[in-house]
Every structure is written in C-alpha cells, then in structure tokens.
A and B are shown apart, each in its own frame.
Chain A
Amino acid sequence: MVVSCEEVWREISDYLEGEVEPTLRAAIEEHLRGCKHCTAVLEGTRNVIQLYGDERMVEVPLGFSRRLQRRLEEDMPSGRRSFLGWMVAVAAAILVAGGFEVGRSSAFSPPELRSEHARPGSGVPPNMMVVAAADGKTFHVPGCPFIHDKAKLETIAAAQAIHEGYVPCVRCMSKYLAS
C-alpha cells in the first residue's frame, strides 16, 4: 500500500492518536521515512498538541475563583445547609457578633433580660462605654438625662451590660433598639 502526501495530511490526526488501522499505519510510516515535508508537518502538529495541551495554556483572570464564590453565595437558591456549612455559618456569626456588634447577638446563651417589657439592643458597639445602676434595668450613654439613680452608677462596656441583662435606654440609646 502506497499513500500520497495528501493522504498523510488527511490521516495525521488519527495517526497521532493511534487510531489508524495497522496497514495504513505502516504505509504512512513508510511514506514518512522518505518525505521530509510530511515529517515536518507531523512533528509540527505533534508540537501543537503538546504545547496547547499543557495546563499552563489555560489561564484564568486574577481573582476569578474569589468572584465566582461570591456570585454563588449571592445567587445560590435556598437549600438546607450541610453540617459543615452550618459550622462555617455559625463560626462566621460568632466572629461578626464578637467583633462588630453585640446586643441581641448571642444565639447561644441569650441574656436573661432585667426587664421583660423592654426591647433588647441590637448592633451596640461592644466596646462602647455605658453607665448602668447595679439594681437598675437599663444602661445609658454617660450624661443621659433619663438616668434615675445617678448615685449607684457604674461605667462598664456595652458588651458587659448586655451580658448582665441590661437593656438600652429608650431615649439615649434609641438607635440601638431592636425592632
């Protein structure tokens, strides 16, 4: 069996993938031995496959993964969380609560409020210094005109006040009242 240059070019892909039947393969190899043009085409095609097949050829834009994850989080249809998912969510909630806000924050051990009629606080900066009376029910911004027993006041951090069950003053702390 003798093959022409045109036939070799037509079969080059299959030849490189080992998909030509043995008789044709032998004929192509015989042709290649005497044809440097076809050998150059074959080697060049093999180079193309090898170079483009390298994983370095697939480049994704910087930050692609991060943006993808954010998009998935934003647009993900609601579903039940896995145990791991819950753990991550809970850890995130603890971080947020601990780092940025307190008040109605602790889902684990909600403070027993000193007043059952009062609304708990929400988003109070944990390190904000407030004043509260030892036997009182509310905490205030220092200098609040609605403090009843100024003689017994203590200055403490808002996080501590909330932990002890104090509720925000409806006047001076109104912006932190949970609705």
Chain B
Amino acid sequence: MPEEVTSLENSAEQLNEEALIRRIRDGEHDLFYQLIRPYERRVYSAAFAILRNEADAEDVAQEAMLKALKHIRQFRAEARFSTWLIQITVNEARMRRRRDRADIMEPMVNQVDEEGNHAPRDFADWREIPLETLERKEIRQQLADALASLGQKYREVFVLRDMQHLSIEETARALGISAASVKTRLLRARLMLRDLLAPGLGGSWSSKLSFAKGTKPW
C-alpha cells in the first residue's frame, strides 16, 4: 500500500506542477519560484558538478532558472520538468566553462578512453558504512574531493544519475549523449570513486582519518 500512496502523492505533485506551468505560461510569472523551489538544490549541484566552483555554480544556477522561465513555452509535457531544467543548467554550465577556458584545469586523471576496461587498483574490504557517517563534515568533504578529482564527463554522469537519481535515459537526454555512454561512464565513475575511497589504498578515506589499515572508523 505505501507504494500506492507514494504513487498517488507523485501524481498529485505532477498535477500541481502541470497546473503551475500552465499558469506561468499564461503570464503569472510570480508563481515561477514555487515551481522551481523543489529543484533548487539539484540545479545547483548539476552546475557545481561541471564548474567545481561555488560562486560560478550559483550564478549559473540562477541564469539557468531565469532561462527556464523565459523559455517555458518551449517545455514539452512529455519530458519531466526537472529533467528539462537540469538540461538547461548543464548547457549553461558547459557554456560558462568553455567561456572561462576551465578545461585546462581539468584533472588529467582518468582522461583515458572511456571504452577501456577499468581494473580496480585494490581489493580492500569496505563492506559496511552506516549512513550516519555523513553527519561528519570531514567525511562529506572527502567524498566531495574524490568526486571533484574525476574527469568532467564522469562527474556529470555520476552526479545526475547517482546523486540526483535521474534515470539512465533522463541522464542521457540532459547531457546529450547516448544511454550506452551513460552506462559506460557511470561504471567507470563508480569504480574510480571506490578506488579513491576504499580503505587500504592510502587514499583519503583511510589516511586522513588516521585509522589503521583494515580497521573501520565506524
């Protein structure tokens, strides 16, 4: 039953969203913030995944939302509004990135052919991690640092799929790539992050927390 309740709630939200979009299209622009409010964080994090700079990400997030309002008549109801909004954000962030020539700062790590197989660098056991660990700011920072060290094409896919929970198809649409590329990049991103974080590598997860190899801090 809970699934049915959730489904009903989702369709109610969807209906509400459709009604809001209709009214905004009819000129009630002041309702726009109500429409985008649930997606603020997602828009910011998509921009940040590409730009890796708080100020730029915030500015681009604002630009993207203004652009969404300006072009709201072009939104087609067959797509989810959130996906469309993220798509605009990704485009804006990529344009900003090109403009600022940030590519030269892109980490050189993992710039290899994405079709190549990724072999784990270590097989340390890393089985149980309670989510409460995320209450610790230093843990969140280590996760953020590991993510920032990935190449852009891996970071984009990982953020949209695993952090914003878009489907493979929605991620592909938002990034303008094929679903197969999303899957390949996602696999590599996940394995690379595991490599960076698994204990026993001398990576951030173990060394910065100063606990002995093989001993879990939780």
Contacts and interface: CB of A to CB of B under 8 A. Distances in A.
Interface of A: 6, 9-10, 12-14, 36-37, 40-41, 43-45, 47-61, 64-65, 67-69, 71-72, 75-82, 84-85, 88
B81 interface: no
Contact of A9 (B30, B118, B129, B163): B118
Contacts of B129: 47, 50-51
A97 to B, nearest CB: 20
A52 B119 contact: no
Interface in B120-166: 120, 123-127, 129, 131, 133-135, 140, 143-144, 147, 158, 162-165
B127 A43 contact: yes
A104 B130 CA distance: 63
Contact of A37 (B123, B140, B165): B123
Contacts of B210: none
Contacts of B85: none
Interface residues of B, number: 55
A40 B125 contact: yes
Interface string B101-133: 000000000000000011110011111010101
A79 B32 CA distance: 11
B41 interface: yes
Nearest to B122: A40
Contacts of B124: 40, 44
A68 B194 contact: no
A98 B54 CA distance: 40
B90 to A, nearest CB: 16
B93 interface: no
Given A52-B163, A64-B61, A81-B30, 16 more contacts: A10-B187, A12-B187, A40-B123, A40-B124, A41-B194, A47-B127, A47-B194, A48-B193, A55-B41, A58-B163, A59-B140, A65-B37, A69-B33, A85-B30, A85-B31, A88-B30
Contacts of B70: 77
B31 A12 contact: no
